[in-house]
Amino acid sequence: MKSDTPVQYVKGVGPKTAEKLERLGIATLSDLLQHYPRRYIDYTQPYSVAEAPFDVDAVVKATVYSKRGAVRLPGGRTMVQVMAGDDSAALTLTWFNTQFMTDKLLPGQEYYFEGRVRGNITRREITNPIVRTEAEVKRRPMVAVYPQTEGLGSGQIARCIESALALADPLPEPLPPDFLPRFRMPDKWTAVRNIHQPSSPQALAAARRRLIFEELFTLQIGLTLLKSRGSVKSGAPMKPVGLTAFWDSLPFSPTNAQRNAVEDICNDMTGKQPMNRLLQGDVGSGKTLVAAAGIYMAARNGYQSALMAPTEILATQHAATLQTMLEPFGLQVALLTGGMKAAQKRATLEAIACGAAHVVVGTHAVISGGVEFANLGFAVVDEQHRFGVRQRGLLASKSEAPHVLVMSATPIPRTLGLLMYGDLDISILNELPPGRKPVKTYAVTGKKREDMYHFLEQQMQLGHQAYIVCPLVEESESEMPGADQLQAATTYFTDVAQALLPHRRIGLMHGKLKAKEKAEVMQAFKKGELDVLVSTTVIEVGVDVPNATVIVIENAERYGLSALHQLRGRVGRGSSEAFCILVSDHNGEAVRDRLRFLCHTQDGFEIAKYDLEHRGPGDFFGDRQHGLPTLQLADLMNDTRTLETAQKCAHEILEIDPKLAAPEHAVLAAQVQHLFERTTFN
């Protein structure tokens, strides 16, 4: 059976299961075989009954002594029990509504039981354990557990994969032949079989090492090919421009970091290849000013610029900021969003097409089909992690090889950044503009809520404003465990904020509001017509209201530190002292440590490092890993050494065959394309 065979034709799958597998990104036999386990049940080193740890999944080897008859319980359920044990202790095994499980068990025989051990030193029990015989363990000593989806459990996926392994032709080898002996790695087909059905922990380790390398190697090839568009001639060749007039027009002095970043950009834009640069800067470090300097340079060279932002609120704010900076030089800034009226949109599109609009600021609308630029030379993507690689490529495709600057306020350690963003050069803003004060941060429990509201009232008496951030929009929004303890913006607005601040003007903001409603609420808050804004994290990115001095974040334990730091950056943007109050009733020590760390740290790069080390890249980058293709096995934090090797090897191959056009690289080229196609973009 060929690797591109639709998965529904695999024995035991069929159309209905194929629909469920599609939710996991599995469409072909190859996709199914490359749906790797998330963990394993290891039967090679079982515990004795007495040594088995409590309250964690464990494998216990024990002999069956006796079986008890079924007991009918209230509500119609039946319970069956088996008594087992070894020389160290006794073990009670209990099943509900599954009497057939005990029928297989023979007194005097040894079995392996997998489940969660409960009880105490003298009495131990497992409820609904998985049972395996000695023969079954010899045949398969390690059992894979797979990422699953609704209606499709790990066991069913395992059976589909077992069938696929038996039927499939060996998967083609994407790595160059000399890589296998050079890095002592198994071939692709051996690695895939061993990751699903490992014969030993050593075989599994070798398979994982090989497949992690392959995943990172493929990623680096893809990113480098994206960057290789820079090997073509720039579609917007520019001449050096003096920036003295631009700097002199500002009401403040730029930081050295801003000047250095602008110098990087100007040098790139006067080169022979198109710029492809990432600008990383902490909250409030002044990335928009750097982008404005690039726009100024492009305009002086006769080119248009475009800036794409993830939300209409942020796009509107960027347009207003750029207008203030660039209008003195006669540059027209146009705003293009999905919520515009038809006539207004037509006029804006005409201004873009004829070149009357020197700068276009917008949301995804900027990359829509109807937008035609007269002479786009400089494209800026703000909040890079909200967009995918493909989306920034779509913006770049609006012109022939324009210069591209992507900006991110989510700091990551520089070494990891250089490896992750293999397709970008990097500039970093690590200084705050003069006059910006640190935001005082406190962690409190819900018991302090009334005192906290008294503090908010004091701030408002001084003429200031406040944000209150909740994790949910509505109480019914989530069915996740513990969701009933989460604050929802809609009910918090009426039941808490309005009750505790009865004489204050309170607004409500969340992602389910229409674009026009969001804009109206935000405008009212900016103008000072609202004292408090109750919101979800829709205000996380870039919202700038200098008069807001306090942000309260409810259920702070639900966020990564980098997200909390982003939210904290909404205050402290004016000259007054600012405060961030983290509210959490979570009593876990790890949560308390994280929140304490944030209370004593303002450095976004240190915070990002802590988040990566303690929560891992899944929590730090989110499911979409900063717009990169989803990685199944590799961990961008812990596999950095492999990532470095993969990057060097990718450069080696592309030096020999820059477009992967050679026949021996056909499988690799197809795999790179498939990896980037599987990436989902919002």
In terms of DSSP H, where are the helices of 328-388? Answer: 342-354
Q: What is the pLDDT of residue 24?
A: 87
Mean pLDDT of 352-375: 89
Query: Looking at residue 413, what is its pLDDT?
Result: 61
Model confidence band, residue 482 (pLDDT cutoffs 50, 70, 90): very low
What CA–CA distance (Å, rounded) separates 399 from 624? 27
pLDDT, residue 540, reads 56
Tens-digit pLDDT profile for residues 309-338: 888 888 888 999 999 999 999 999 999 987
Within 425-545, residue ranges assigned H as helices are 449-461, 489-492, 498-500, 515-526
Q: What does the pLDDT average to over 454-480?
A: 80
Give the pLDDT score at 477: 45
CB atoms within 10 A of CB 121: 8
* Beta-bridge mates of residue 480: none
Between CA 443 and CA 588 the distance in angstroms is 14
Picking from 523, 501, 503, the residue whose alpha carbon sits closest to that of residue 513 is 523
Query: In this model, does residue 283 exceed pLDDT 50?
Result: yes
Q: How far apart are CA 330 and CA 16, in angstroms?
A: 61
The answer to whether residue 419 scores a pLDDT higher than 60 is: no
618 — pLDDT class (breaks 50, 70, 90): very low
Higher-pLDDT residue of 458 and 417 is: 458
Judged by DSSP in three states, 71 sits in: strand
Q: What is the percent of the chain where pLDDT is above 90? A: 46
pLDDT at site 230: 47
Q: What is the pLDDT of residues 391-402, one digit of tens each?
A: 556 666 677 778
Joined together, the tokens standing for residue 535 give 């919101």
Using CA atoms, how far apart are residues 153 and 146, in angstroms rounded to an integer? Answer: 8
pLDDT band for 518, please (50, 70, 90 cuts): confident
- Residue 483's pLDDT is 44
Q: In this predicted structure, what is the pLDDT of residue 402?
A: 86
Is 612 or 364 the better-scoring residue by pLDDT? 364
Higher-confidence residue of 284 and 558: namely: 558
Mean pLDDT confidence for 635-648: 81
The region of weakest confidence among 209-213, 321-325, 435-439, 479-483 is 479-483
What does the pLDDT read at residue 619?
A: 43
Distance of alpha carbon 120 from alpha carbon 177, whole angstroms = 55
Task: Answer left, alpha or beta for residue 286, where phi above 0 means left and psi between -120 and 50 means alpha.
Answer: left
Tell whether the model's pLDDT for residue 475 goes beyond 60.
no
Structure confidence by residue, pLDDT tens digits, 126-163: 999 999 999 999 988 999 999 888 888 888 999 999 99
Contact in structure between 68 and 81 (CB atoms under 8 Å):
yes
Q: How many CB atoms lie within 10 A of CB 451?
A: 10
Q: Return the pLDDT at 369.
A: 75
Which of the four pLDDT bands, split at 50, 70 and 90, describes residue 620? very low
Report the DSSP beta bridge partners of residue 142.
Answer: 42
Is the pLDDT at 627 greater than 50? The verdict is: no
| HEC profile of 518-551 | HHHHHHHHHCCCCCEEEECHHHCCCCCCCCEEEE
Whether the pLDDT of residue 625 is over 50: the answer is: no
pLDDT digits (tens, 9 = 90+) for 228-238: 654 567 778 89
H or E stretch including 441? strand 440-444
309/382 Cα distance (integer angstroms)? 5
Range in 110-119, 467-476, 608-617 with the lowest mean pLDDT:
608-617
> What is the rounded average pLDDT of the residues 21-42?
90
Structural domains in the chain plus CATH codes: 1-43+141-169 (1.10.150), 45-139 (2.40.50.140), 235-429 (3.40.50.300), 440-601 (3.40.50.300)
Query: Between these two residues, 258 and 675, which has the higher pLDDT value?
Result: 258
> Two tokens at 205?
């380790």
Query: 286 vs 258, 261, 410, 450, 519, CA distance in Å?
Result: 7, 11, 13, 36, 23
The region of weakest confidence among 132-136, 364-368, 460-464, 668-672 is 364-368
Note the helical H segments in 402-477. 414-420, 449-461
pLDDT in tens, 5-16: 999 999 989 899
Q: Specify the pLDDT at position 677.
A: 66
Contacts of 354 (CB under 8 A, 6+ apart): 374
Q: How confident is the model at residue 415 (pLDDT cuts 50, 70, 90)?
A: low
Kindly list the distances between the CA atom of residue 236 and the CA atoms of 253, 270, 351, 356, in Å, as whole numbers in the listed order.
29, 9, 20, 18
- pLDDT at residue 396 in the model: 62
98 has pLDDT over 90: no
Average pLDDT of span 510-518: 81
Computed over every residue of the chain, the mean pLDDT equals: 85
Q: How far apart are CA 384 and CA 541, in angstroms?
A: 11
* Whole-angstrom distance, CA of residue 621 vs CA of residue 638: 14
